[in-house]
Amino acid sequence: MIAVVGAGPRAAEWALATLEGGGLPVRRDLPDGLYFATNPGRDGHYLFPEELAGIVALVSPTGLDRTDPAFLERVLLVADPAPGDGWLVTVHDVLADVSMRGLPFWSVSVVEPVLEGLGPWLGQGAFPMAPSPLPTTVERLDPVPAAIHAALATRGDLDDELTEALVARADAARK
């Protein structure tokens, strides 16, 4: 399963529509993740990892945290920077989870969608779509969120200083 987690208001649906348009099978019914309370589902059916191989599934940050790693082939974080630091909390939580659990990870931005390399990483060969970027608020971001967004959009590393800044902003936003 390729878990897609959206950071920002339009991120998840943009990503699912884009990937679905690119021919990937998509599921929108697993936002709470896959763990003992959600799998088996209410009908008693248990989803096996192999049933979800290669399938793109929308998952909330909490759902990702709870999901059995046996299901997580890859994690795609999609950023839609917005006013306020709510999206940074999601970025922080997802980065913390994937780095701690060593999950294969990719990130894209809905306002600067760099998709080169994403298709092969998803196991789909060259990605067929080049979606239009959505209207942006990036230019109105503070330097720190703007730098974090730029790193996510280009799959650049968050250095120690930027990581510390992300942790501080996320902690402050949570309070």
Partner 1 sequence: MWMQVLAAAGFEPLGAAFPGRWKESIGDANPEGFFESRFRDGVYHATNPLPGGIYVHPDRVRDRAVKVFPFGVRRSHRAFLDRVVVTMRPCAEYVRSRARLYAMESAHRDQELGERVTPVRYVPAYLEWFFENLTLLGDLRLRRIPHRVVTYHRALRKPQAVAEVIRWLGGDADAGVAELRAERRTQVGGWTSDSEVPEYLRHLFDELHAVHDEGRPIGDGLAERLRAARTELLPAFDEARRVQRVDQRRWASDVAERVRR
Contacting residues toward partner 1, per CB under 8 A:
35-36, 40, 46, 48-49, 65-66, 68-70, 100-102
Shortest Å, Cβ 36 to partner 1: 5
d(Cα 48, Cα 65) in Å, to the nearest integer? 18
Work out whether the CA dihedral 40, 43, 49, 54 comes out positive or negative.
Answer: negative
Q: Is the peptide bond before 143 cis (omega within 30 degrees of 0)?
A: no
Shortest Å, Cβ 32 to partner 1: 12
Q: Which residues touch 43 (CB under 8 Å, ≥6 apart)? A: none
Q: Which is nearer to partner 1, 102 or 143 (CB)?
A: 102
Q: What are phi and psi for residue 6, nearest 5 degrees?
A: -95, 135
Shortest Å, Cβ 167 to partner 1: 13
Q: Which is nearer to partner 1, 39 or 136 (CB)?
A: 39
Q: Which is nearer to partner 1, 1 or 108 (CB)?
A: 1
